[in-house]
Structure 1
Amino acid sequence: MDALDIVMNKDKAVPYYQPIISADKQEIEGYRVSGKVKGEGEKWIDLHPFFADNSIPDDYRQEIDDHIKQVAVSKYLHENRSELLFFSLNPNLVVPENIEQFIDRLSVFKSQGLPFEKMVIELKEHQFEGDVSNLKHFVQYIQSLQVKVALDDVGTSSTQLDEIALLQPDIIKVDLHAIGNSPFPSVLTEVLHSLSSLSRKIGASLLFQNIQEFTHLNYAWRHGARYYQGSYLSKESLTFLDKKSFTQALNKDFHRFLSFEKKKIKSQIALTDTLTKRLKNYLNNNKDFSDIDQVTKEIASVLSDYSFRVYICNEEGIQQSGNALKDEKGVWQYRVEERYRNWSWRPYFLENIVRLQYEQKGMLSDLYTDIHREERIRTYSYPLNDQLYVFADIPYSYLYEKDFLL
């Protein structure tokens, strides 16, 4: 259908509702409202291309958007619903010239019985063509009315973390559509970890959308999503659903996630205990660290079936030894030129050193990408005394062969 046909037959345009489900209650927390129009052969056509087409006059798009929202609000009020309603907004049509008109339209819904606090406005910051400071003022304005703001398509778009922090949305929507099947790319994993950390710092909730399969839901769960949206849980429909429609299924999935994570934690603790026992046995018979290069070589030998690189640092992160490093044939080599590297710039280094000092036991790091080998590894660390700390890097090949270490 062309744009004029849609406008002339707007009674054929209707809202569709996709549930947004909360992680804490496993209940439907809200609905994302989208538009479809009935075409030839009773086929429903998605209106997203219509709204995204800048060649279509703004007033055409605004008329259909208003119609769909009004039908959705009327149905919501008629059924005495209490969930949030998520409305998509193209900020280029509103900011900065038409803000008051937009607020007037929201106020009409409020006068009909839909509170501002039940409205969530979704916008794609990366598509905004104006000054981001104007968008910031708009976000602050509608938030002051108790309307919530969600940044859409974060994670797979060009949205920068500093711009998210500037806008301070209530909800950050992470789109899993472009990720594909598991395993997920390690770089994207790090980006989403940063998003998760940022959301906590600015007080925003994470919503993972386009969850299309079990692994997507698991991924969202592991990265701290408060809300879930996607066809794995429920497709768009013409009706609202019972709030507890997905409670039982989600509880079952969460149980599987927890069981798996417990096994991972137990495996990591078991590996840490094994490495600690190896080192303690060595240290019981070796108290002299005056020849630190020899100590490093001996520890490398003790941990040879686990590690590919061993080195020793002081509490300020300065490497006191060289690197004991396995070559391609698995033979230990010693690279004295690595001495005096400063590793204190690494994230969490200081925290880990303090923990090693205080707890006086070994630690196993999270998975991370080694900058030299460009592979995912873990690092085991242990306090030799109050001044020296040994670090043993464990290769991906070992972690891959063992259950629950990746």
Structure 2
Amino acid sequence: MDPLDIIGNIDDVFPYYQAIFSADKQEVIGYEVLGRIHLNEELKSLGGFFLDKTVPDEFKQEVDLVIIEKALKKIVSTGENTLLFINQHAEILLDDKEEKILKLLLQYEEKGLSLHNIVLEIAGTETLTDKDSFINLIQYYKTYGIKIAVTKISGTHLSFLAKLEPTILKIDVKILRESYEMSTHEDVLHSISVLARKMGSTLLYENMEASFQLQYAWRNGGRYYQGYYLHKPSATLVEKQYAKEKLKGKFHEFIRYEKRKLEAIQRLTEELQEKVQTYLTQLRPGAELDEWLLGLVTPFHKQSFRMYICDEDGFQLSSNIVNLDGKWLAQQHYLNKNWSWRPYFLENIMKMRVDRKGILSDVYNDIETKEPIRTFSYPITRNLYLYVDLSYEYLYEINDLL
């Protein structure tokens, strides 16, 4: 589509609205404003126009302001108390010395618009050259009560995001469709969700096209959801209850699955704990730990591929007892290695010391095998802690453990 055709028919551009839903009330809490144009008797998206780097920024801003004003006029005329997400590119916003977007918003504030309902959805932060000036600009917009959302997030500029302190982080879940890189993408998304929690930002998962993406968002701290799976963009606003029954039904489905998974984890934890406790009577003070572990492999032969013992500070007191092609061997070079740097290691030591029972870890990728595993840890004594790594093959065979 020729940009000059759009500029020449600028009166024919108008907003489309895609609803955004909340997890807590399962209701519409806002809309993202998207651009459309009637051209040659066809309805066309303006997404390509705004993303085209050959189109002058002045053209983009001129068209954008027309779309935004029509959206603001609609919101004010209907009296809707809803969030309005307005797309802005970081560089264009920074170069707007005349503050055209802010002046337009202030103009409609006089007509009844609440600036607290405006969310500037910022893209392009990863390529900003003058990040300090942009942070100052965003702080200035915030003084008017305007909220900030950041989209197109990558793991390479998380420190900048922390300085920006956005109200909302938008995470694109469509990458989860690329199953061959699923685990890598999930790790990146998890890192972003952890950052959001520490910053106090709300997570909005966008581009949902399937149930499993909604489930991922629900399970990983998503408060807001957006995508074709819930609502396709349209020229009209929808009822707040538009997808309430669908969301409630899906949430019940997800909750049943998580409960079943937690029950399976609890059963396995109790089973592993019972096996260890049965064998503990054979551990005498001053016993050789490698010898004791080699005796423990029999009850764990089908479940584990590695086990070892550490003290309360994370120093390894035994060899790694590993299953290599069906034979259990002691790898002595692991003696005296320290694992206290691992996430949750010392926290779990304290839990085991207080509760006097074992802990089954979440699924994580093993450093050596690179495969998903779980680790069962158990307090043998106040200063001896057993670690049993459960193999991927075993977890795969048991429903709800991966």
TM-score range, shorter chain: over 0.9
Deviation track 1:67-105 (CA, whole Å, cap 9, x = no partner) reads 111111111122221110000001211215526333222
Give the equivalent residue in structure 2 for 1:58.
Answer: 57
* Conserved? CA contact 1:96–1:134, under 8 Å: no
Give the equivalent residue in structure 2 for 1:323.
Answer: 320
Shift in Å at residue 266 of structure 1? 0.4
* Conserved? CA contact 1:343–1:349, under 8 Å: yes
Alpha-carbon distance in structure 1 between the residues aligned to 2:101 and 2:244: 36
* Conserved? CA contact 2:126–2:157, under 8 Å: no
Alpha-carbon distance in structure 2 between the residues aligned to 1:12 and 1:131: 35
Shift in Å at residue 177 of structure 1? 2.2
**Partner AA of 1:20 in structure 2:** I
Shift in Å at residue 130 of structure 1? 2.4
**Partner AA of 1:361 in structure 2:** K
Alpha-carbon distance in structure 2 between the residues aligned to 1:304 and 1:99: 71
Give the equivalent residue in structure 2 for 1:29.
Answer: 29
Alpha-carbon distance in structure 2 between the residues aligned to 1:289 and 1:83: 69
Taking every aligned residue pair, what percent have the same amino acid on both sides?
38
Shift in Å at residue 247 of structure 1? 0.7
Alpha-carbon distance in structure 2 between the residues aligned to 1:181 and 1:55: 29
- 1:160 paired with 2:168, answer no
Shift in Å at residue 286 of structure 1? 2.9
- 1:352 paired with 2:351, answer no
Alpha-carbon distance in structure 2 between the residues aligned to 1:23 and 1:220: 10
When residues 79 and 97 of structure 1 are mapped into structure 2, their CA distance, relative to the original with a 3 A threshold, is closer
Alpha-carbon distance in structure 2 between the residues aligned to 1:165 and 1:99: 28
Shift in Å at residue 285 of structure 1? 3.8
Alpha-carbon distance in structure 1 between the residues aligned to 2:55 and 2:110: 30
SS at match of 2:177: coil
Deviation track 1:160-196 (CA, whole Å, cap 9, x = no partner) reads 2211111110000001123316687222212222211
**Partner AA of 1:65 in structure 2:** D
Alpha-carbon distance in structure 2 between the residues aligned to 1:383 and 1:291: 17
Shift in Å at residue 225 of structure 1? 0.3
The partner residue of 2:277 within 267, 277, 280 is 280
Alpha-carbon distance in structure 1 between the residues aligned to 2:313 and 2:127: 45
The partner residue of 2:229 within 226, 229, 232 is 232
* Conserved? CA contact 2:171–2:204, under 8 Å: yes
Unaligned runs of 5+ in 2: none
Shift in Å at residue 59 of structure 1? 2.7
**Partner AA of 1:348 in structure 2:** Y
* Conserved? CA contact 1:299–1:310, under 8 Å: no
Alpha-carbon distance in structure 1 between the residues aligned to 2:202 and 2:259: 25
Alpha-carbon distance in structure 2 between the residues aligned to 1:373 and 1:289: 33
TM-score (norm 2): 0.96
Worse-matched range after superposition: 252-261 or 163-172: 163-172
Alpha-carbon distance in structure 2 between the residues aligned to 1:137 and 1:55: 28
Aligned residues: 402
When residues 236 and 97 of structure 1 are mapped into structure 2, their CA distance, relative to the original with a 3 A threshold, is closer
Unaligned runs of 5+ in 1: none
SS at match of 1:226: strand
Give the equivalent residue in structure 1 for 2:20.
Answer: 20
Give the equivalent residue in structure 2 for 1:141.
Answer: 140
